């Protein structure tokens, strides 16, 4: 299959009852406050080219961001910071992301999440994360021929991704690399079809981090620049 085919299947997924109920409830209730706009209310697929060499892994779509617009990190404050930093690092065609069809293009970079539906309070359960895991495995498998680096936003994404990488043909060093802002590890291939993969940690671009100054846009741009270099971009 292709990533496009996978995404077409993904947006139909209803495997997590709590998340299906929440994403649809938010869409029903909020549609009125975004008059004239479609409110997505479905699983949000990865965004970016299918031959990306850099993958950015977040947590899950935001109720009024990705869940509203249908595109990762689009239409919320977290996305404002991320796309501005991506633009500064030369990975995006413009610094703003408002809706699908706003002309934004990503260069050699794809954005995805270990959980594809918006969870209440931005907190997916362990069961929901594990239920969604096969989508991430499939996405990594499809990207593997070109993939050279991954930037993980936040500890949840880091903890979710490591086991998936180790099941998907890369060797995760022991002891397991610890998440932190600026963390960097190189995973060696465990399968002939894989190449070494650079893994970078970056604090999540959530308002909780950016409003408190724990994370600045410059800090995000710096990690993205390092990752872009490692990915050959
Ligand atoms: Fe399906 Fe993932 Fe959404 Fe669960 S979170 S319903 S597995 S797309």
User: How do residues 30-42 score in pLDDT, each as one tens digit?
Assistant: 776 766 677 899 9
Nearest CA to ligand 1 atom 3: 117
91 lines ligand 1 (CB under 6 A): no
Distance 48 CA to ligand 1 centre (A): 20
Within 13 A of 178's CA, how many CA atoms are on the CB side?
A: 1
219: domain CATH number?
3.40.470.10
118 lines ligand 1 (CB under 6 A): no
Distance 156 CA to ligand 1 centre (A): 16
**Enclosing domain of residue 7:** 3-230
CA distances from 178 to 162, 188, 200 (A): 10, 17, 10
| Contact assessment for residue 201 and residue 183, using Cβ atoms and an 8 Å cutoff | yes
Task: Provide the number of structural domains found in the chain.
Answer: 1
Pairing, β 197-202 against β 184-189:
antiparallel
Tell me the pLDDT tens digit for each residue of 75-116. 999 999 999 999 999 999 999 999 999 999 999 999 999 999
Q: Can you give the pTM of this predicted structure? A: 0.97
| Contact assessment for residue 226 and residue 103, using Cβ atoms and an 8 Å cutoff | no
pLDDT for 35: 67
15 lines ligand 1 (CB under 6 A): yes
Cα separation of 92 and 107, whole Å?
6
Nearest CA to ligand 1 atom 7: 132
């Amino acid at each position: 299959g292709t990533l496009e085919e996978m995404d077409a299947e993904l947006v139909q997924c209803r495997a997590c009852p709590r998340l299906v109920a929440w994403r649809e409830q938010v869409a029903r209730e909020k549609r009125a406050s975004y008059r004239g706009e479609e409110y997505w209310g479905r699983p949000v697929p990865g965004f970016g080219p299918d031959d990306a060499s850099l993958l950015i892994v977040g947590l899950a779509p935001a109720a009024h961001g990705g869940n509203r617009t249908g595109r990762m990190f689009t239409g919320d404050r977290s996305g404002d910071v991320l796309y501005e930093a991506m633009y500064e690092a030369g990975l995006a065609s413009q610094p703003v992301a408002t809706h699908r069809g706003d002309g934004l293009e990503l260069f050699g970079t794809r954005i995805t999440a270990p959980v594809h539906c918006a969870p209440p309070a931005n907190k997916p359960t362990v069961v929901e994360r594990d239920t969604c895991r096969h989508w991430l495995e499939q996405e990594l498998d499809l990207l593997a021929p070109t993939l050279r680096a991954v930037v993980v936003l936040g500890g949840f994404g880091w903890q979710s991704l490591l086991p998936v990488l180790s099941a998907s043909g890369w060797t995760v060093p022991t002891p397991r690399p610890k998440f932190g802002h600026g963390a960097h590890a190189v995973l060696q291939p465990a399968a002939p079809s894989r190449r070494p993969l650079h893994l970078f940690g970056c604090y999540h671009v959530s308002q909780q981090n950016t409003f408190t100054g724990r994370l600045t846009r410059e800090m995000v741009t710096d990690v993205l620049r390092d990752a872009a270099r490692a990915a050959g971009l």
